Chains A and B, each alone.
Chain A
Amino acid sequence: MAEKKQQVKVPKKKASRREKKDWVAGYLFIAPVTLGLLVFYIFPFIQNFWFSFNNVNKFNMATFCGLENYSKMIVDTELYQTLWNTLKYVVITVPVGLFLSILLAALLNSEIKGKSFYRTIYFLPSVTMSVAVSLIWKWIYNGEYGILNAILKVFGLEGQNWLSNQSTAFYCVMIVGIWCSVGYNMIILLAGMQGISKSLYEAAAIDGAGPKDQFFHVTMPMLTPTIFFVMITSIIGGFQVFDTIYMMIGKTSMAYESCQTMIAMFYRYGFEFGKKGYAAAISIFVFLIIMVVTAFQMWGQKKWVNYD
């Protein structure tokens, strides 16, 4: 604590006693989180960065190797395959999930009966453990014994090995991802909708706007900040998807390559092959990609998010 007081004296020349007291209080308030983050997140981040310039064996013994990991990485076709898969996952699950959540939220934002029943049920998957969800869906998708194919058969449709087929497996995983998150996002959007002032709708009604016009000209513009929030969190979540794919797509699935995300590749090199240096380089690459995407969104939001 003594240290902190000294630190405080440096930046501003004139600070009243009360201000100084405030400074101390401020530092005290932020101390646990800041120190914790420094020790368990910032320092590991730097160490991870250091590892990316090393050959780190299974037993965490590091030998410096310069840019070898990076030069190996940029010619590794697997990296681009996983990057492509990850982007595909984000580009499909985020809009589809967002569309469904907005649709459900809009339906529930009317005066219908059983609202809280629907809300409760839709929310259920998002409190369920992803590992359990994966086990359940893997069993549902099973080619011979799964209930999905059994249902299709009732309708005279031919089922298939959903998780082993290159053209279906990734979409099946995406469906699980969407299934898990729609209810959650719906709740957030519904709250956003309910926060919109009634007077705006009344004004629109006076101007002769029907329910459809009201939705597109009042609800949607006023909802953009909430949509932006849901979008950002979904995109970040999408880039880090791992549990479901890890649990559902086995190594001998024909769809294995087409379902591997960057995080899965990182995990495999880091924890299965014991090449933590290379894994660290991959994680740095993932980090850069997320940075670029986030920066792009922050820039883009000015054009469509309505902060009135």
Chain B
Amino acid sequence: MKKNLKKLMALGLVVVMGATMLAGCGSKDSGSSDDGGSSDKKTKLTFSMWSETQMPAMQAMIDAYEKENPNVEIELQSSSYKEYWTKIEASATGGTAPDVMWVNVLHIDSYTDAGILAELDDAIADGGLELEGNFPPALIDAYIRDGKQYAIPKDFDTNALFYNKEIFDKAGVAYPTDDWTMEDLNNCCQELLDKGLDENVYPFACPVDFQTWYYQTVYANGGYIINEDKTETGYDLKETQEGIQCWIDMIDKGYAPTLADITDTSADARFESGHLAMVLAGSYMVEEYLANDAIAGKIDCVEVPSMNGKEPNCINGLGYAVYANSKNLEEAQKFAVWCGGEEAMKIQGEAGFVFSARNDAQHYFADAHPELNIAAYTNHVEDAVALPVCMNAAELYDLEANELKYAYDGSKTLEEVCKTLKEEGDALLK
């Protein structure tokens, strides 16, 4: 025992010395570690993303790029969605943000405003990448601020109505079709209930979800969330409120679980465990659904039901952006631009997780899933509205979810809630 204590003491002393030295030089040399890489012959880039499932595809792209450009070495980093932004935001000013990164439209306003992202127009021209004609216009525009391109469109997602054939067969109800209207959806729910479903099985689900549920109907109904100048919200409009109310009605009619139930067990978990006949789902859910043995082979999808003769859909996506203070800005831009090219998009597309943004690569996703009616996602992509965004988007969505739950729960009327939303939402846009 005594020996051990002596050792402990010795260790303690060594550490004191170490710590004093550390404390002494830490402030002076803080920058030195950054220069370490420059003596290497290879240019090192970091590439950051947030999806575990897409890592192999991204790595394959990197491998292909490194083969063509032996002077470049790219390190891939991945984290969960939420932590991804925390990390970038905290490291951006210190010059340690990743050189190339995924961005989405939710963050593009605040990031360009703070000068975090590099303009890519020159690099696009140098790399010979034609954006126009090769990408859906909505996706190109999504990353343009003040006339400059800040990201190369990577992929996009839209929504479709998924259904569980087993539940329909059991109840003896006809499957949904592409030409359904909202009315058909409601009727079908009623029919399923009438024919009888197992305990805890619901026809449909309506969580407080903007992108996959109510934004689509709000816009199809002629309403809006944020006006074009981004100066005002549209919660006070009758059209906007109707677009939200149609989902609340379905909860009230018993077609969908109550807000409390859906909070405890998400719509996805219900659908994946066979407790939900139909659900709206973004294209990013397709892989997860198919990987789930409990429902694989029993599901298919159709278009989001139309409303007022319009095909509601909400398009969102990601882009490749470059960090403005990157130490290897040129190489980073070159890689980002390459990611928008035919070869990269092919690699990504063949992996099958997302719709590649490039027009000529969109088919890969459908090819990867011949068992599903993937066209439901792309049939009306030209009519799809982009996700409404602004500087304080995160706070606005938070506010919206917070207030709307009172309407979904029935403890307040939607009109009351929207009045509050209008006031507080407008304040956020100021």
A residues with CB within 8 A of B: 1, 28, 31-32, 35-36, 39, 57-61, 141-146, 160-161, 163-165, 250-254, 256-257, 268, 271-274
Q: Which of B15, B94, B208 contacts A252 (CB 8 A)?
A: B208
A138 to chain B, nearest CB (A): 8
Identify whether the interface residues of A are mostly helix, strand, loop, or mixed.
Answer: loop
Residue pair A272, B89 in contact (C-beta under 8 Å)? no
Give A143's nearest chain B residue, CB to CB.
B264
Question: With A58-B114, A144-B200, A273-B394 given, is the CB distance from A36 to B261 under 8 Å?
Answer: no
A278 to chain B, nearest CB (A): 11
B110 adjacent to chain A (CB < 8 Å): yes
A160 to B258 Cα, complex, angstroms: 12
Interface residues of B in 71-90 (CB under 8 A from A): 86, 89-90
Distance A36 CA – B19 CA, assembled complex (angstroms): 8
- CB-CB under 8 A from B89, the residues of chain A are 58-60, 274
Q: Which A-B residue pairs are the 10 nearest by beta carbons?
A: A161-B260, A164-B260, A143-B264, A58-B89, A59-B92, A164-B263, A32-B19, A59-B93, A59-B114, A142-B264
CB pair A143–B261 under 8 Å, yes or no, is: yes
Contact: A256 with B398, CB < 8 Å? no
Contacts of A165 in B (CB 8 A): 260
Cβ-defined contact, A161 with B264, below 8 A: yes
Kindly provide the distance from the CB of A16 to the nearest chain B CB, expressed in whole angstroms.
25
Chain B stretch 237-268: residues in CB contact (< 8 A) with chain A: 258-265
Q: In the docked arrangement, what's the CA distance between A160 and B260, Å?
A: 9
B63: CB under 8 A from chain A? no
Docked Cα-Cα span, A97 to B45, in Å, equals 53
Interface residues of B (CB under 8 A from A): 15-16, 19-20, 23, 26, 86, 89-90, 92-94, 110, 114, 116, 200, 207-208, 258-265, 392, 394-395, 398, 401-402, 405-406, 409, 411
A145–B114 Cα distance when bound, in Å, is: 46
| Across-interface contacts of A163 in B (CB, < 8 A) | 263-264
Given contacts A59-B93, A274-B110, contact A142 B23 (CB under 8 A): no
For the complex, what is the distance from the CA of A268 to the CA of B398, rounded to whole Å? 10
Complex contacts, B94 vs chain A, CB 8 Å: 60
> Which of A28, A61, A250 sits near B93, CB closer than 8 Å?
A61
Q: How far is the CA of A271 from the CA of B394 in the complex (A)?
A: 11
Q: In the complex, what residues of B have CB within 8 A of residue A146's CB?
A: 264
Tell me the complex Cα distance, A57–B391, Å.
11
Chain B interface mostly: helix
- Known pairs A58-B110, A59-B116; A274 contacts B260 (CB<8 A): no
Chain B residues whose C-beta falls within 8 Å of the C-beta of A57 in the assembled complex: 110, 114
Does B398 contact A251, Cβ atoms closer than 8 Å?
yes
CB distance from B404 to the nearest CB of A (A): 9
Interface centre among A57, A161, A272 (most CB of B within 10 A): A161
- A71 CA to B401 CA, complexed, in Å: 27
**Is there contact, CB below 8 Å, between B200 and A251?**
no
Report the separation of the CA atoms of residues A142 and B200 in the bound assembly, to the nearest whole angstrom. Answer: 13
B9 to chain A, nearest CB (A): 11
Shortest Cβ gap from B327 to chain A (Å): 18
* Also in contact, A35 and B93, with CB within 8 A (given A143-B261, A252-B259): no
Contacts of A61 in B (CB 8 A): 93, 114
CA distance A271 to B402 in the complex (A): 18
- What's the minimum C-beta distance from A112 to chain B, rounded to whole angstroms? 34
Complex contacts, A257 vs chain B, CB 8 Å: 402
CB closest residue in chain A, given B90: A60
A274: chain B residues at CB < 8 Å are 89, 110, 394
Q: Is the CB of B207 within 8 A of A252?
A: yes
Tell me the minimal C-beta distance from A5 to chain B in angstroms: 14
Cα distance, A92 to B262, chains bound together (Å): 29
Given A32-B16, A274-B110, answer yes or no on A144-B394 (Cβ-Cβ < 8 Å): no
A58: chain B residues at CB < 8 Å are: 89, 92, 110, 114
- Inside 8 A of B261's CB, which chain A residues have their CB? 143-144, 161, 164
Contact A143 B398, beta carbon cutoff 8 Å: no
Q: Measured between alpha carbons, how far is A163 from B261 in the docked complex, in Å?
A: 10
Contact B208–A35 (Cβ < 8 Å): no
Across the interface, A143 reaches (CB within 8 A) one of B114, B265, B401, B411, namely B265
CB-based nearest A residue for B257: A144
Residues on B with beta carbons closer than 8 Å to the beta carbon of A253: 260, 263, 405
Q: Which of A35, A254, A257 has the most CB of B within 10 A?
A: A254
Once the chains bind, are B265 and A144 in contact (CB under 8 Å)? yes
Known A59-B92, A160-B260; 11 more pairs at CB < 8 Å = A32-B20, A60-B92, A60-B93, A143-B264, A145-B264, A146-B264, A251-B398, A251-B402, A254-B260, A256-B405, A272-B398
CB pair B264 A32 closer than 8 Å: no
Collect the chain B residues with CB atoms within 8 Å of residue A254's CB. 259-260, 263, 405-406, 409, 411
Instruction: List 30 A-B residue pairs with CB atoms under 8 Å apart, sorted by A's residue number.
Output: A31-B20, A35-B20, A35-B23, A36-B23, A39-B23, A57-B110, A58-B92, A59-B92, A59-B93, A60-B89, A142-B264, A143-B261, A144-B200, A144-B261, A144-B265, A145-B264, A146-B264, A161-B263, A163-B264, A164-B259, A164-B261, A250-B263, A253-B260, A254-B409, A268-B398, A271-B86, A272-B394, A272-B398, A273-B392, A273-B398
In this complex, the member of A61, A253, A268, A274 whose beta carbon has the largest number of chain B beta carbons within 10 angstroms is A274
Contacts of A268 in B (CB 8 A): 398
Whole-angstrom CA separation of A267 from B92 in the bound complex: 19
- State in angstroms the CA–CA spacing of A3 and B262 once bound together: 64
What CA separation (Å) do A1 and B23 show in the bound complex? 13
The answer for the CA separation of A142 and B263 in the assembled complex, in Å, is 9
Residues of B within 8 A of A273 (CB): 392, 394-395, 398
Chain A's closest residue to B23 (CB) is A35
| A253 → B minimal CB distance (Å) | 5
The chain B residue sitting closest to A146, CB to CB, is B264
User: Are B19 and A252 within 8 A (Cβ)?
Assistant: no
Closest CB in chain B relative to A79 CB, distance in Å: 16
Instruction: Give complex CA distance A60, B114 in Å.
Output: 10
Q: Are A142 and B265 in contact, with the CB atoms below 8 A?
A: yes
Expressed in whole angstroms, the Cα–Cα distance for A184 and B26 within the complex equals 39
